[in-house]
Amino acid sequence: MKNLNCIIVDDDEIDQLMVVSFVKRFPHLKLLGAFLSAKEALAFCQNNSVDVLFLDVDMPGINGLELRKVLSSIPVCVFITSHPEHAVESFELETLDFIIKPLKFDRFSKAIERIDEFMEIKTKALLYESSIGGDFIYIKEGHEQTKVKLHEILYLEALKDYTLLVTNHKRHCVLSSIGTLLKEDHFQSFVRIHRSFAVQKNLIHKIGSNEVFINENIAIPIGRSYKDALSLLP
């Protein structure tokens, strides 16, 4: 497992120490620093390369959302906060995960699994090839190909230049942006509801004020600028 350089930014010392203790349980996470303010973190990042940012939202001066905008070049951002109302806004900033305090180790471990998956994706050349006239695509990794039926894809999730194709059984990844995929004929059955998400139109069970439910129990956030697209659905 490749070592990942991490920093923690949280103005609550007790919460910060908790995150530090959890990070240290993962040998491949190299903690470069823990900061009580965005100002300190910004100064550090000017001269250091960071892979993962563990970030609180509600902080004095520059808050976590504003800091993420400035540090958008850091590949992975995980928000750890007491304010769930910022979840939708955070995912507009290419957030990989959003954890609600109080932080539990099991939940933190799941976030690390997502980080490892994302960073592994970045190091592999995962490609896809569209089928001709069929309801499927091929996901190609090295010399192997996996046939994925388009109607089984629940939603698409953007990860910078990559896109996750999420089914009930597995999460596939392709080296293509979500915007590029949605322009293709094969993905015309999807509607984009967020900068980071697009869902199968026919799987939408309920549309709430801030989220869409697909297959009754999967909630996907709605981006403010995409609400009009949902209002036009039959």
Structure tokens at 152: 């089984």
Say how many residues make up the chain: 234
81 touches 58 (CB < 8 A): yes
**Per-residue DSSP letter, 21:** H
Residue 127 has pLDDT above 60, yes or no: no
What CATH number is given for 4-122 in this structure?
A: 3.40.50.2300
Task: Judge if pTM exceeds 0.95.
Answer: no
Sheet holding 136-141, edge to edge: 126-130, 136-141, 144-149
Domain-by-domain residue ranges, the chain?
Answer: 4-122, 126-231
Query: CA-to-CA distance for 193 and 178, rounded, in angstroms?
Result: 12
Q: Which architecture characterizes domain 126-231 according to CATH?
A: Beta Barrel (2.40)
pLDDT in tens, 162-198: 888 998 888 888 878 898 888 888 888 899 999 899 9
